A and B are shown apart, each in its own frame.
Chain A
């Protein structure tokens, strides 16, 4: 299938209120042609509202939705040419697998022979060849998921929308389907908007992630950037494990935590309060006699707990300043960390290049 059918989506100041509550607050979002974009957020954040607005099932109060150059915000769902996969799959139980997949083709008046060929092709793409005559009740959860997907792309829509399509599957199948969906997306090249509350799923599958909270976009970026360079507290906290240390600015303008000097100046002089975001796996246990040097920001403290978890292990280190850091390390090779015991004094360091500084929001 060719790539030219993919369309960019442009969402402009989209707003939706339920009573006094904003479900979407002037959301602006550009989704590139052919990309896999995930809307990630906690439940009630507005991510499904946004998806349903793109599909046409949720009418916003104001704003614009463009597919390519065409304004779509007033277009009814059946004229938007958007493939959609629901969390509940919403397969039609009174139709066979082939009838389900052929449904959009039939609506478009495609003749029987071509319909049959395209249904077979779609079923092949989702690895369900030969199951066309089955009833829906004869399928497993994973198979239903695939039928719902085939039905959503068989008519070659320009845009594919998915609302937590994997949440009903068990963990193992879910991880397998994540890879498979990514593969199918590459094969189809269709612009895909995917909704999930599972950050790992979002990191695994997406070209870009739009983190959404309280109806507003918190950050839109690639998975690596979202993880490595969160731009605010919400994203830093919601994505991955992290400890946030509030920093103070000394008279020389340096940002410090206790005795540790974290940065010689604030990244943005217009903001005074900064926090340091520490990912547990970025911390290194330093040799006892190590000095801070230029390479590391060093913190000293006492191990309160050391836990072995198989492929990784972690230790909780209580700093003199009062905060507790989590230090995570692999167990593949014998490392400094694997000899930690509770009660032991220890120094941990963070490579300066890995520093994540974010402006602290006033409490």
Chain B
């Protein structure tokens, strides 16, 4: 036990050392529970990505150099890859907004007992392997596939159209895979809108269309922005779907990174491209962070 001293602060107060020691131990024990997870993530993500970051600044002569980054500015092929990536991400996001908004609205306004059932339409694809879904689109969109057959039967077009191994196929597949990522946070935001708000608007004499655009839409916009940014960010680094449905014609950043490793085995160049991708992603997420709270929106599927 410690001495009791009438003026705490100047000298040690009663039990002060023992108490602060106990507090520190408890905090460390608690934080210690997260160390296994930190270790795994450090080994798999933090250290390797840091390593790549370092590699991206090492030139072919083994010295510090910006050559990999210079190449990206100078070579036209890189510019094309960045353009394609941006284009695919943006278009996919737009398609998702157009399809996702009415769907989320529909789901958010279902009577409670139906929600679970119709939600499955969003959750099932979300839980299903994207490789399987990409494969399904490959089959549906091919020259003799279901879509071409159907279109010709009802007379939309006469001869089979090339729907896959190009931009069209890539966008269709990507939109299908990304749609749940937009709908889930948007649905969450819409569920939080009080029906009373809409009643108030209509009681004040607003027409349904006006009260939608003046009241409902602005309230749902945070969820829409959240979903759209998640989709956009995921698109930026997407690999599987463009690789399969683009058939080598849609080269995005991720595809380019693997190509560099596969054909040139140039770790510096691949790393530099990866770093650019990471910076772009963090940049978009930073902007996103100013609009909405992350952890709640990211997994609003509760």
Contact = CB atoms under 8 A, between A and B. Distances in A.
Interface string A319-351: 000000000000000000000000000000000
B22 A62 contact: no
Interface stretch (B12-20, B38-46, B62-70, B152-160): B12-20
Contacts of B4: 12-13
Interface residues of B, number: 13
A59 B23 contact: yes
B14 A63 contact: yes
Interface string A241-270: 000000000000000000000000000000
A61 B1 contact: no
A62 B6 CA distance: 12
A61 B22 contact: no
B23 A73 contact: no
A63 B13 contact: yes
Contacts of B8: 13, 15, 26, 62
Contacts of B20: 61
Contact of A64 (B14, B22, B23, B26): B14
Contacts of A280: none
Nearest to B1: A71
Interface string A15-28: 10000000000100
A60 B19 contact: yes
A73 B13 contact: no
Interface residues of A, number: 13
A74 interface: yes
Interface in A43-82: 59-64, 71, 73-74
Given A13-B4, A26-B8, A59-B23, A74 B18 contact: yes
Contacts of A73: 15, 19
Contacts of A61: 13, 16, 19-20
Nearest to A26: B8
A324 B190 CA distance: 54
A29 to B, nearest CB: 14
**Which among B14, B20, B23, B26 has the highest number of chain A CB atoms within 10 Å?**
B14
Nearest to B22: A74
Contacts of B18: 74
A60 B13 CA distance: 11
Contacts of A62: 8, 13-16, 19
Nearest to B4: A13
Give the secondary structure class of A's interface. strand
B10 to A, nearest CB: 12
Contacts of B22: 59, 74
A130 to B, nearest CB: 36
Contacts of A71: 1
A54 to B, nearest CB: 14
Contacts of A15: 8, 13
A64 B19 contact: no
Contact of B19 (A12, A13, A26, A59): A59
B86 to A, nearest CB: 46
B83 to A, nearest CB: 51
Interface string A114-135: 0000000000000000000000
A12 B1 CA distance: 13
Contacts of B26: 59
B1 to A, nearest CB: 7
Contacts of B19: 59-62, 73-74
Nearest to B20: A61
A13 B23 contact: no
A327 B13 CA distance: 49
A26 B7 CA distance: 10
Nearest to A16: B19
Contacts of A64: 1, 14-15
A64 B20 CA distance: 13
A295 B22 CA distance: 61
A71 B14 CA distance: 12
Nearest to B12: A62
A363 to B, nearest CB: 27
**Which among A60, A61, A62, A71 has the highest number of chain B CB atoms within 10 Å?**
A62
Contacts of A63: 13-15
Interface in B25-79: 26
A147 to B, nearest CB: 29
Contacts of A26: 8
A12 B14 contact: yes
Given A26-B8, A61-B19, A61-B20, A13 B1 contact: no
A213 B200 CA distance: 44
A64 B3 CA distance: 11
Interface in A68-100: 71, 73-74
Nearest to A13: B14
Given A26-B8, A71-B1, A74-B22, 7 more contacts: A13-B13, A59-B19, A61-B16, A62-B13, A63-B14, A64-B1, A64-B15
Interface of B: 1, 4, 8, 13-16, 18-20, 22-23, 26
Nearest 7 pairs of A and B residues by beta carbon: A62-B13, A62-B16, A62-B14, A59-B23, A63-B14, A13-B14, A64-B14
20 contacts: A12-B14, A13-B4, A13-B8, A15-B13, A59-B19, A59-B22, A59-B26, A61-B19, A62-B14, A62-B15, A62-B16, A62-B19, A63-B14, A64-B1, A64-B15, A71-B1, A73-B15, A73-B19, A74-B18, A74-B22
